[in-house]
Structure 1
Amino acid sequence: MAQLIRHSRTFILCLLLLSTIFLASTASAGITYTLKQSHAVPGETVNIQAVLFNDTDTAMTWTSPKNLVLQWRNENGQTIRSLAYLEGAAAAINVPVNNFIKLSWRAVVPTEAQGLQAINIEGESTLLALDTNPREHSLIAGTPAAVPVIDAGAASNGSRIDPPLPKNVVAATGASVEQGPSVSSTRQLASHSSSAFDNFRSAISAYEPIYFDFGTKHGNNARYQVSFKYRLFTPNDPANPDFIDNLYLGYTQTALWDLESDSYPFVDTSFKPSLFWHKDALWQSPEKNWFVGLATGVQHESNGKSDEDSRSVNYGYIQPELNYRFDGGSTLTFAPRIKGYFGGGDHNPDYRDYAGNVDWQLRYAQDNGLVLTGLYRQGHDSHYTTQIEAAWPLKRTFLNMNGYLHVQYFKGYGETLLGYNHKSDGQVRVGIALVP
């Protein structure tokens, strides 16, 4: 353990030295809004669509608001405020480098809205219009809307006026009860939650793939993996994080489960805590189709067993990541992980002979589509490992559910840490992945 701590200190010092060579990025992140309909009468529903884009050099996390407060203005400057409701549950959204996410809110046209309407989202400079007039002839709301927020579309048969929403409902959105801000103010993409749980939730994200797969070769069996990472420091400016803001704690757990034998025992489980630094894009081409990232850190892996079944391995690594972004909306990534071992377990001193010093990794990921990954290791002599995976979003199947259909093929050495020196025959497993 003392040796691991000493190596960890050396790793952090190396990170501090590397920081002097990184260049500042001028990229940005933001959100744009559009109105799907060009015309609607009072009482009808319209859809406000948004594209959250990340043009920075690091992945971004943003929490989508459940409600937007809309300001409606007619040609005479009369204002109405109403709520738009997010389609789906509000959640923290992870946006990779050079990627975007689509969101949608629905709103009812207020009963009092007549004729040309200029619509603004409070806190945004975006102008939306519910007519066909040229944009340059529309009114831009530049002053606060000093009116209450009404329940759009709730006017009774005998009244042409929508009732105001309860003050606590309006306050829950974070908006002022009596007056909205000017549209010249800006809405921050970062979510600054005050509760400890919200701070924790915004700092935790997916790391390695998360899946549960089932196979039948040599008896019914399952292989599963859970993984997450925790960002140790919250950036003051999410679009331009500091060097230390890219430092993470990671944890991955992989297990092989025997579903054929009595009592359904676990064959072996690997526990893999890690400390690492990761930036998605240290450099980007002017066209932003090429970008190069870097991950470097230390990882400990053990199976938690004692005596002759005990296995453990420690290594430091550096992982350059070469990415190419296709115009059609997919990314190809080549990320070899170069490993240096230290302080290995007494029961597996020849681990390097079977696992080698490089994990050759290739990944092809379509936006909201097919994800293909490949891993190859070459040890001494004929010791090798091959793992190929494919995932397809279940939202794009008749099931229309979250997650991915996941298929995994494994052959070679090291399917478990306990059996690092035993060769596994090729086996295909099928299951569900939460993160491919």
Structure 2
Amino acid sequence: MAVIRVLRANPRLSFPLGGLAAALALGLAAPADAGVSYRLDRPSAAPGEAVTIEAVYFNEGSARANWEAPPELVLQWRGSDGQIVRSLAKLRGGKASYSVPVNNFARVAWTAVVPATVNGLQAVSIEGQPAMMALDATGRETGTVASTPAQGPVVDARTGQPLPPAVVSEVGASPDGGPAPAAVAAAPAVPPESAFDRFRSAISEYKPVYFDIGTRDKTTARFQISAKYRLFSPPGDRPADWSENFYLGYTQISLWDLESDSMPFIDTTFNPSAFWLSDNIWTSPGQNWRFGLNTGVEHNSNGKDGDDSRSLNDGYIEPRFHYRFDGGSTLTFAPRVKAYFSVGDENSDYSDYAGHVDWQLRWAQDNGAVVSAMYRQGDQRRRTTQLDFAWPLKRTWLNMNGYLHLQYFNGYGETLLGYNQRNESQFRVGLSLVP
């Protein structure tokens, strides 16, 4: 059975609808039956104006769910004077059938016109659904309740007596009065962002982040850190367009000798990049298939000079094919095809060992295991394989953040310094922050 989670396209409007419902003495938000949540896009509108009814179907069941969005809804408008008016709302876009994978949602909208004969506060219901919404349909010439500030103290709902000002101030409200719902809907939801807030909202995970230890031949640690920074952030009310999918990335991977005197680093690869990335270029009608793309340029260097210096640049294109299983997991196939340029003389034969394609496969379970594999094929049967397994520690007796991480590596290029040296099978275990 599908279970509902209320998702709001614009969280700023949740208070006005709740406030109007309270004014109607109904105390009703807009929950609905069998997997659907409804809401109005605004707290007030004059008779004759168009409003939007938005619906979200969220599937939290154990199997794919099918949903038929009706092309029309019958609305009932109930005023405080007892008048009831029925009208139609029409589905936008024409699509009515959805196949929703586990832990995914479908969103649709209907357009309705506020009936010319209604006035004042209205309880708006959908026939056949227990959903109840509220709208202030007072005419513009007389002003609306939704635009009138609330003057007066906050009272105890049981006794009607004013609460102490200190109690009200603790929740961030004024003891003497509050804003109107329409003013809250129009006001910014949050204060202007600081420079740090903008940076924090633009940075996100890129490649896996982990720290692993292995003991073959000698004890070593291999760890990787990685992040990407979005150059252009889209507004919060719409998906990013193509020009807003440009990123700067940085990845660093190190091999650390934990056994020798002074525990030196064997090698570190510094990998800055610039790229375009989107995982939602195309989605199948059933929402189980998605196609994305990652393409750009990157630099790899170990930061050393002399005989130990290694550096190269490459341009790459990485198509990404995602398949969403009904059981709540995703399989991703993402081959990265690379063309090298400005390769250092000290490693001019790099492609003979690394090849030109990283064959990548990843399976990720919702809140569960993550398994990934990478395979490279160089010249003369020079093969490289890396396997990774991560399990969330929240699902163990430790109940901690992060993942238990296991890694297997066999082949060439465990470090950039040793790109032409074959590494025998190496198993490591450690902690992953981003699997």
Residues 1:371 and 2:318 are matched in the alignment:
no
**Alignment check: 8 A CA contact 1:225 1:252 kept:** yes
**Alignment check: 8 A CA contact 2:16 2:185 kept:** no
Amino acid at match of 1:140: A
Alignment of 1:310-321 (within 5 A): 310-321=309-320
Alignment of 1:36-435 (within 5 A): 50-51=6-7, 71=18, 77=24, 136=130, 140=134, 142=136, 144=146, 146=150, 162-163=163-164, 165-167=167-169, 169-170=171-172, 178-182=178-182, 185=185, 193-236=192-235, 239-435=238-434
Alpha-carbon distance in structure 1 between the residues aligned to 2:212 and 2:314: 28
**Alignment check: 8 A CA contact 1:72 1:79 kept:** no
**Alignment check: 8 A CA contact 2:155 2:162 kept:** no
Q: TM-score, normalised by structure 1?
A: 0.65
Amino acid at match of 1:178: G
C-alpha deviation, 1:140, in angstroms: 3.2
C-alpha deviation, 1:247, in angstroms: 0.4
Q: TM-score, normalised by structure 2?
A: 0.65
Amino acid at match of 1:304: G
**Alignment check: 8 A CA contact 2:312 2:340 kept:** yes
**Alignment check: 8 A CA contact 1:257 1:264 kept:** yes
**Alignment check: 8 A CA contact 2:17 2:135 kept:** no
- The C-alpha deviation readout for 1:41-93, integer Å capped at 9, x for no partner, is xxxxxxxx65589xxxxxxxx9x99x98994678873599xxxxxxxxxxxxx
C-alpha deviation, 1:348, in angstroms: 0.5
C-alpha deviation, 1:233, in angstroms: 0.9
SS at match of 1:140: strand
Amino acid at match of 1:288: Q
Name 1:6's counterpart in structure 2: none
Distance 1:373 1:180, change over 3 A: farther
Alpha-carbon distance in structure 2 between the residues aligned to 1:141 and 1:262: 74
Distance 1:240 1:336, change over 3 A: same
C-alpha deviation, 1:217, in angstroms: 1.2
**Alignment check: 8 A CA contact 2:310 2:417 kept:** yes
Alpha-carbon distance in structure 1 between the residues aligned to 2:434 and 2:226: 9
SS at match of 1:213: strand
Distance 1:288 1:148, change over 3 A: farther
- The C-alpha deviation readout for 1:347-402, integer Å capped at 9, x for no partner, is 11110000000000001011111111100000001211100001111111111111
SS at match of 2:303: coil
Alpha-carbon distance in structure 2 between the residues aligned to 1:79 and 1:146: 19
- The C-alpha deviation readout for 1:238-259, integer Å capped at 9, x for no partner, is 5332322100000000001110
Amino acid at match of 1:170: G
Alpha-carbon distance in structure 2 between the residues aligned to 1:228 and 1:148: 50
In structure 1, runs of 5+ residues without a counterpart are 1-32, 35-48, 54-61, 81-99, 103-124, 126-133
Alpha-carbon distance in structure 1 between the residues aligned to 2:192 and 2:355: 45
Distance 1:205 1:177, change over 3 A: farther
**Alignment check: 8 A CA contact 1:311 1:348 kept:** yes
- The C-alpha deviation readout for 1:300-356, integer Å capped at 9, x for no partner, is 000001100000110000000111111111111000000000000121111000000
SS at match of 1:344: coil
Alpha-carbon distance in structure 2 between the residues aligned to 1:297 and 1:151: 59
Alpha-carbon distance in structure 2 between the residues aligned to 1:50 and 1:340: 47
Alpha-carbon distance in structure 1 between the residues aligned to 2:172 and 2:16: 9
**Alignment check: 8 A CA contact 1:391 1:405 kept:** yes
Structure number with bigger Rg: 2
Alpha-carbon distance in structure 1 between the residues aligned to 2:377 and 2:240: 37
Alignment of 1:9-28 (within 5 A): none
Name 1:41's counterpart in structure 2: none
**Alignment check: 8 A CA contact 2:21 2:134 kept:** no
Between 265-274 and 240-249, report the one with greater CA deviation. Answer: 240-249
Alpha-carbon distance in structure 2 between the residues aligned to 1:101 and 1:249: 35
Alpha-carbon distance in structure 2 between the residues aligned to 1:331 and 1:72: 41
Alpha-carbon distance in structure 1 between the residues aligned to 2:326 and 2:358: 28
SS at match of 2:216: coil
Q: Tell me the percent identity.
A: 51
C-alpha deviation, 1:418, in angstroms: 0.3
Alpha-carbon distance in structure 2 between the residues aligned to 1:70 and 1:365: 38
SS at match of 2:178: coil
Amino acid at match of 2:296: G
Alpha-carbon distance in structure 1 between the residues aligned to 2:184 and 2:171: 24
Alpha-carbon distance in structure 1 between the residues aligned to 2:373 and 2:153: 53
Alpha-carbon distance in structure 2 between the residues aligned to 1:192 and 1:361: 42
In structure 2, runs of 5+ residues without a counterpart are 28-57, 61-108, 110-127, 137-144
Two-structure CA RMSD over aligned residues (Å) = 3.9
